Structure 1
Amino acid sequence: MVEYIGMKNLINAVKGSVGLRKGKILFGFEGNNSTELTWGALDDVVMGGVSESSFQIDRRGSEIGGPTGVFKGVVSTANNGGFTSIRTKNFSVPEDLSAYDGLELRLKGDGRRYKLIIRTSLNWDTVGYTASFDTVASQWQSIRLPFSSLRPIFRARTVSDAPPFDPTNVLMFSKFEYDGKLNPTFVEGAFELPLSSIRTYIKDPICPRFVHVGSAGVTRPDRPGLDLSKQPPAVRLNKELGFILTFKLKGEDLVRESGIPYAIIRPCALTEEPAGADLIFEQGDNITGKISREEIALICVAALDSPYACDKTFEVKSVIPFSEPFTVDPENPPPEKDYNIYFKTLKDGITGKELLEQSPVPV
């Protein structure tokens, strides 16, 4: 049970800080779920202009006929104006987006250039971290804005000594760029920008953010047709051991379902032998054997930097049989392994549960 409850608690504890493969949605609509923010207009009327804008929810305006936000209005250069914008209220709790690489906007363009401004201070008139983006008229598109591309701006001027970045969101449409430059796509008149979502993203290639060491054999206690007498003790005695492998498998399922980029390593019997033996990587939960704890630690570290290990579940063992001890000559140690050679052989979606889910064949 601890393998399941403990994993559930651990995932809940780290989920917000290690990042999700699909990103964290900050605003938008997904199926029956929505993440809405309170938006308000901040237009050039604050400096005597006559432009005006609003942010509304169109319940059938998205690309699939569902709800979407719409930033719309009329922009005018009268009275030395020329911009419209909307902004959210300050978040009551600052968002920690450090696990991600940027923001992705899903929107329907109109051929104009817009700016996204992200603020890190609760103060009203302060530095905003800003990126411009161009849109394609009449097309739904995903705009990715890397955090590394954001420029610290204060009153349309770059700030070279700006403080660190911890965002809230502002979406602004303006004829002005930065440092006196003009927006090359600025046109007076009505505009409309449907915006269905703002979410974070992890840039490709995605590597595991969570590496879980499980156990070979987790799918075998309930596997139909398996000769348990030929299986390791933990498989044969799963019930007597408090269904330890059953709960290990449930813990694995929590990892796979969490949305966190992961790797699940299932070692065979662990030994205190040194690392360095040749290895066998398999999938489907069928192999038995032994492997060094030191080797598993090295595999875990390597998996964190390998996109080939991402979202894979696999078993691993040494080629050395149980009956033969493995030792290393300090004067002639084995070469360091490139674990990517093994990771590249792995396939998506293979866990060994496939055999548990097969329907019985009628006779």
Structure 2
Amino acid sequence: MSRIRALWNASINATKRALTWNLEELMPPQEMCVFSFSSKEDLKRWHLYSDSEYGGLSSASLEVKDAENGLNGLTFLTPLNYIYSEGIFSGNLSSEVSDGSRWRMNRSGFCGMRSKKFDGFIDLDPYDTLAFKLKGDGRCYISTIYTENWINAPGQLEDNTWQAFVVLPRGNWYIAKIPLASYLPTWRGNIVDARLEMNPSRVVGMSLSVNAEGGVPGTKSGPGDFKLEIDWIKALRSG
């Protein structure tokens, strides 16, 4: 009897281990790289936009730059020193409008970089946070997530838009983490006053943008140059 019981217990324990292994295989990784900015090929996944499309005078560029990871400009033959690449989103914000513009602009002074349409969707449903490794200039930037249009607001044919502010220290690399629950639904820059829920399994694009005015109090604002260095964007799962 004791031998049968031992075999029974061994069988149960083996089944439990198998189930545990299967569950671990089914679980998504703790993090997923959504975008990297280490090559010109990476930058081809993005396009720029600004108020210049509507008669404004702002301008923007997106390029990749090699940078050496050293200590105070000194060179050491250690693993700490290597050449890596980063994306640089930079330009100039202007509040002026060109003479003879055929557009009736409510405001100017904005630039952005938006990912091109995906071949399908990015599924962020297993994750709860977006993380950005960035080096800022003191300005407040805006992170936007575009999801498939399933809200069906009257007259709305564009993707659904969800936005959150990105605030980071000036001049140092920083990992900004924004919970997906912090993104608010917006319509043409204005918060939608309704109880809506993002569908993170149907993400069709993302963007980073900057405005000359507005943003978080205490951050740099107004016309002038801007510069945001970008290493990567990742999705994180805290659970």
Q: Deviations over 1:67-117 (max 9, x none)?
A: 111111111111241100010111112111111111000011211110000
Tell me the residue number matched to 1:284. Answer: none
Tell me the residue number matched to 1:45. Answer: 52
- What SS is found at the alignment partner of 1:56? strand
Q: 2:229 aligns with which of 189, 194, 197?
A: 194
CA distance in 2, matches of 1:66, 1:11: 37
CA distance in 2, matches of 1:134, 1:198: 15
CA distance in 2, matches of 1:84, 1:129: 17
Q: Which moved more, 1:154-163 or 1:77-86?
A: 154-163
Shift of 1:126: 3.9
Tell me the residue number matched to 1:152. Answer: 185
Shift of 1:175: 3.1
CA distance in 2, matches of 1:182, 1:128: 23
Tell me the residue number matched to 2:100. Answer: none
- Partner amino acid for 2:28? G
Q: 1:97 aligns with which of 108, 124, 134?
A: 124
Q: Which has the higher contact order (CA 8 A, sep 6+)?
A: 2
CA distance in 1, matches of 2:56, 2:177: 31
CA distance in 2, matches of 1:73, 1:36: 16
Question: What is the percent sequence identity of the aligned residues?
Answer: 23
Structure 2: gaps (5+ residues): 1-17, 71-81, 98-106, 150-155
CA distance in 2, matches of 1:51, 1:134: 22
Shift of 1:26: 0.7
**How does 1:1-363 map onto structure 2 within 5 Å?**
14=26, 18-21=27-30, 23-28=31-36, 38-60=45-67, 65-79=83-97, 80-121=107-148, 125-159=158-192, 160-162=194-196, 164-166=198-200, 167=203, 168-177=205-214, 184-203=219-238, 206=239
Point out the structure with the larger strand share.
2
Contact 1:84–1:174 under 8 Å retained in 2: yes
Equivalent pairs, count:
191
State the TM-score, normalized to the length of structure 2.
0.68
**In terms of Rg, which structure is larger?**
1
Contact 1:27–1:37 under 8 Å retained in 2: no
Structure 1: gaps (5+ residues): 1-5, 207-363
Contact 1:108–1:195 under 8 Å retained in 2: yes
State the TM-score, normalized to the length of structure 1.
0.46
Q: Deviations over 1:224-268 (max 9, x none)?
A: xxxxxxxxxxxxxxxxxxxxxxxxxxxxxxxxxxxxxxxxxxxxx
Shift of 1:125: 3.8
Contact 2:43–2:64 under 8 Å retained in 1: no
Contact 1:76–1:82 under 8 Å retained in 2: yes
Q: Deviations over 1:262-286 (max 9, x none)?
A: xxxxxxxxxxxxxxxxxxxxxxxxx
CA distance in 2, matches of 1:184, 1:112: 5
